[in-house]
Amino acid sequence: MNKFIEFISSKQFRNGFYFFLFTLIMAITISSQNYFFQKVIENGISKKDIVAQKDITVIDTKKTEQHRKEVAQNVEPIITQAEDEFIMTNLLTLKNSVMKIREKGISEETKLDELNVLFDESGKRGLVDFMLKSSDNDLISLFEKSQITLSAVLNKGISSNDFENNKIESIIKKHIPHNVPRYQSTLIIGILDQVIVPNLVVDEFATEIAKKNAQSSVKPYEVVFKKGQKIVFEGEPVTKLKRDALRAAGYNVLEVNWGGILGIYLLIAFFTFVFLQYEKNFEKQYYNPTYLTIIGTLTFILGLISAVLPTGISPAIIPIPAYTILLSIFTTPRNAFFASSIVLAIIAIGMHWNIEIIAAFMLLNSVAMTSVSKLNFSKRSDLLIVSAKITLAGILVTGGIYFLEKYMMDIENVLILKDIGYIIINCFVIGGVFILGVLPILENMFKILTPYGLAELADHNQELLKRLSFHICAKMQRKQSEQTLF
């Protein structure tokens, strides 16, 4: 029992408990947007009517894929010639075999039997007798004409269907030279019938490439929901197309179960562990309960704002730049940028943000880090200059993204004004004016002396320092007067 009490009272247990508690709270907070808030789909059914607030163009992936499959199926197999050299070699081998049998010193009857072995029944009609009794010149001439005919037949191509439909004889006849006598035509047909095989085969690789090219040429099937048109009705089963349209309209269409929450928790736990290791090894002066508490508090507030953000409001309003500025003041700009990058990754993955939002916040965090690093912390009002720089950078980034999307798809001009408004509120109002007011409160709450606090303590024009200086001087004069009297 004493060992158990010692264990739960140990520093390692407390640190582990705080780690688990923080990561659990953050996981529940990040998951809450999908699990508790803004849920418009339940068990695949829409919970309410949703109307498009702008023209929305989405790709019907199901119809597009179906069309691509149909196009690929209609691609004819690509036929290529093969076996030509093999077939020509067979003809030459047949000629040589006949010549060797003729040259043998055996009886005519034996030669006839051996020639019958070379030719099947279709070629034996007068062909074997010609092979045995014709002169060498006539035999060589016959094989030369057979070779010419075979070359023409192979250039046209012979397929398996030609064999199945018994078209070989007619194909050979069409390619026999016109000056060949009729009796020789029959002999040529008999010879070639022994050596011809299909030389047209399907080129699987070329056919597959042709199918892929045909699929890639299919334009995506687009569906447009006009402004004011209902995307889904209450009680309607939500298809993938409708989900994509709802997501484009800014609605949360995810149905996160407990497995999803576990996945978010593991992600947060991993990123938190990485951050703590970074603090322990590279920022040791901030690896203590005071600084970790303020970092954890600001991180929780940021996650909570992201979770309860109403549907239709752009994530650009989430005060991630203000988070970076505050941590840059309480710790260092480098430490703040690392922390904000981790928090941005957690929120972006948990909330399924678009890459444009992530890239924009990364750029704004970079501007915030560099701007704070150049401050001399003489006046708190300098934070307004920092926030103005971040606001300008945010407007430029938002404008660039807007014109890119405007080029790719037709979007309303009012959207750029709305996004710029979010940027001004986020970067200047929250990141500047609000921080000026909340910074002294956080300093007093967490008992942390920031560079601004040090500068103010060193400023002799402050009323408190003037009063202290006056009282000290008066006390010293009094002592000097007393020493003079005595």
pLDDT per position as a tens digit, 241-251: 887 777 777 66
- Please give the sequence-ordered ranges of beta strands (E in DSSP) within 92-147, or none if there are none: none
Closest CA to 180 of 229, 227, 147: 147
Interacting residues of 439 by C-beta distance below 8 A, sequence separation 6+: 326, 329, 380, 383, 450, 452
The pairing of beta strand 50-51 with beta strand 230-232: antiparallel
User: 147: how many CB neighbours lie within 10 A of its CB?
Assistant: 17
Please check whether residue 325 is in contact with residue 370, taking contact to mean a CB–CB distance below 8 angstroms.
no
Please check whether residue 317 is in contact with residue 426, taking contact to mean a CB–CB distance below 8 angstroms.
yes
pLDDT value for 337: 95
Strand partners, 56: 225
- Positions in the chain whose pLDDT score sits under 70: 1, 4, 7, 33-43, 81-82, 120-125, 199-201, 250-257, 311-312, 405-415, 458-486
DSSP H or E run through 173:
helix 168-175
pLDDT value for 42: 65
Give the Cα separation of 205 and 396 in Å (integer): 48
pLDDT value for 38: 47
